[in-house]
Chain A
C-alpha cells in the first residue's frame, strides 16, 4: 500500500517535471508557429531534446547570491514556489479504478480536495514575494509586490469560480465532481460556462502569465522577482511557473471539463474489434493528458495574442469586473442547479 503511494507520487512528480520541460518546448514551438517561425528544431529529432539541453546549460551556470541578500529566504523562496505547484497535483484524479488490479489511478482521494488546492496554491505566492524582498533589488521587490497584489486580487475570483462546481456537484471531492460531470456533461457545460471563463482568466492571472505577467514585466522590471537569480535557482522559478501552468490546467479540466472522463471511461470491458478487451478506465489518464495539452495550448495561444495589461487596469479588471462577475456566477449556478437538480 505504501509502495503503491510512493510509486504514484513518483509518477506524479515525474509527470510534473517532464511536463514542465515539455511545456517549455510546446510553448516555444507553438508560439513560433503562431509567429510564422519554426521554433527550436535542432537538438534531437524535431528539437525534442531542447529542454534537456536547456537543463544542462542551467545546471552548469554560475549561481550568484547578492552580497546584501537575505540568504535564507533567498535560497528558500525558489523551493517555496516550486513545491506547492507539484504537491497540488496529488489530489487531482487522473483516472478511475481498474477493477481487475484493484488499482486507483489517483494518489489521494480526499473529501476536501478543493480546499486543499486553494490552500496549497496560495503558498506559492510567499515564494515570489520572499524572492523579491530577499534579493535586495528594487526591481525584484516591485515584482514581488506586484505579484502579491495580483495574486490576492485574482484569488478571490478564482475561489468564487471554484464554488460553481462545488454547488452543482454538492461535494468538494474532486472525484465526485468528475463523476457528476461524467453523468451530466451537457447541463454541466451549459451551467458552468461563465464559471469556466472566469476561472480561466483568474488562473492565467494567478500563475502570472501573459497577458497578466505583470510581476515580471520585462520592459519595466528587468525580470521582476527573479532578477537576481541565476543557475538552478532561476531554473526552479522557471520550473515552478511551468509546473503551475500544468497544475492549473489540470485543475481547470477537472472542474470544468470532466477531468479524466471521456467516452469509454467507466466501462469495465471494451472490446477492440474482438481482438482483445481492456478496461475502459485505462483511457482516463489519456483523456486527462489530452485535455491538459489542449488547455495549455489555449494558454500559449492567449499569450501569443494579447499584450500585457497596464497595472491599474489589471487591478480594476480584477476587482470591478471579474469579482462581481464571479459573485454573479455563484448566484447563477445556485439558481440553475436548483432548477435542473432540485433533489440534490
Chain B
C-alpha cells in the first residue's frame, strides 16, 4: 500500500491515455453507420407503380408479441384502389411505446409491405404522438408511380399476393 511504484505506473497509464484519440461520437453531427439489418421505425412499402404493398391482412398484428399493431382493412375497387387484391389497410397504427422492435411483423408479412427501417430518432412529447399512423408509416410515392387511391383497368390487380419470383 505504501509502495509508490504502482501509483506511478498507474499515473503513466492515465498520462498516455490522455493523448489517445477520444472515442466520443459528436452525435448530431456525426452518426453511427447503421448495420443493414438494423431494426428502427417501421415503413409501409409501395410497389413501383405507387400501389401500397399492404393488403390489410393483419398478420403483423397477430404476430406482434407486444400487441403494438392495430390494422383495420377496407375493400378495394378498381375505381378506388389502394393496393392489389381485395383489401387494403384503411387504418394502420403502431404504438411505439409498446413496440419492442423484434421484427416479427416483417417476418409475418406475406407481401413484405412492412419493414423496419433505419430511423431511430423517435422522440415524442406526449403519449398520443407515440402512436404512428398509416400516413406516417407509408413511403413516398416512387418517381414513376401514381399516388393512391388509383383508378385502374378492371381486373388488372386481382391478386393480393404478387407472383413469386422463384415459384417452386
The docked-state distance in angstroms from the alpha carbon of A176 to that of B20 is 43
Closest Cβ neighbor of B1 among chain A residues: A313
0/1 interface trace, chain A 1-41, chain B, CB 8 Å (1 if under): 00000000000000000000000000000101111111000
Do A34 and B18 touch (CB < 8 A)?
A: yes
A residues near B21, Cβ cutoff 8 Å: 36
Q: Give, as a whole number of angstroms, the nearest-CB distance from B111 to chain A.
A: 46
A residues near B167, Cβ cutoff 8 Å: none
A residues near B13, Cβ cutoff 8 Å: 305
Is A317 among interface residues, defined by CB-CB distance under 8 A? yes
Do A36 and B20 touch (CB < 8 A)?
A: yes
Sort chain A's interface into a size bin: 10 to 19
| Interface SS, B side | loop
A residues near B125, Cβ cutoff 8 Å: none
Do B22 and A32 touch (CB < 8 A)?
A: yes
Is B120 among interface residues, defined by CB-CB distance under 8 A? no
Is A302 among interface residues, defined by CB-CB distance under 8 A? yes
Do B14 and A305 touch (CB < 8 A)?
A: yes
Is A58 among interface residues, defined by CB-CB distance under 8 A? no
| Interface SS, A side | helix
Report B1-48 residues with CB < 8 Å from chain A CB: 1-2, 7, 10-11, 13-15, 17-18, 20-24, 26
Do A301 and B22 touch (CB < 8 A)?
A: no
The docked-state distance in angstroms from the alpha carbon of A14 to that of B151 is 77
B residues near A321, Cβ cutoff 8 Å: 2
Closest Cβ neighbor of B10 among chain A residues: A305
B residues near A37, Cβ cutoff 8 Å: 22-24
Is A306 among interface residues, defined by CB-CB distance under 8 A? yes
Q: Give, as a whole number of angstroms, the nearest-CB distance from A202 to chain B.
A: 15
A residues near B10, Cβ cutoff 8 Å: 305-306
B residues near A317, Cβ cutoff 8 Å: 1-2
Closest Cβ neighbor of B9 among chain A residues: A305
Q: A306-B7, A317-B2, A321-B2 are in contact. Are A34 and B14 (CB under 8 A)?
A: yes
A residues near B20, Cβ cutoff 8 Å: 36
A residues near B7, Cβ cutoff 8 Å: 305-306
B residues near A36, Cβ cutoff 8 Å: 17, 20-23
B residues near A38, Cβ cutoff 8 Å: 22, 24, 26
The docked-state distance in angstroms from the alpha carbon of A38 to that of B7 is 25
Do B22 and A33 touch (CB < 8 A)?
A: yes
Is A304 among interface residues, defined by CB-CB distance under 8 A? yes
Chain A to chain B contacts (Cβ below 8 Å), 6 pairs:
A32-B22, A33-B18, A301-B14, A305-B10, A317-B1, A317-B2
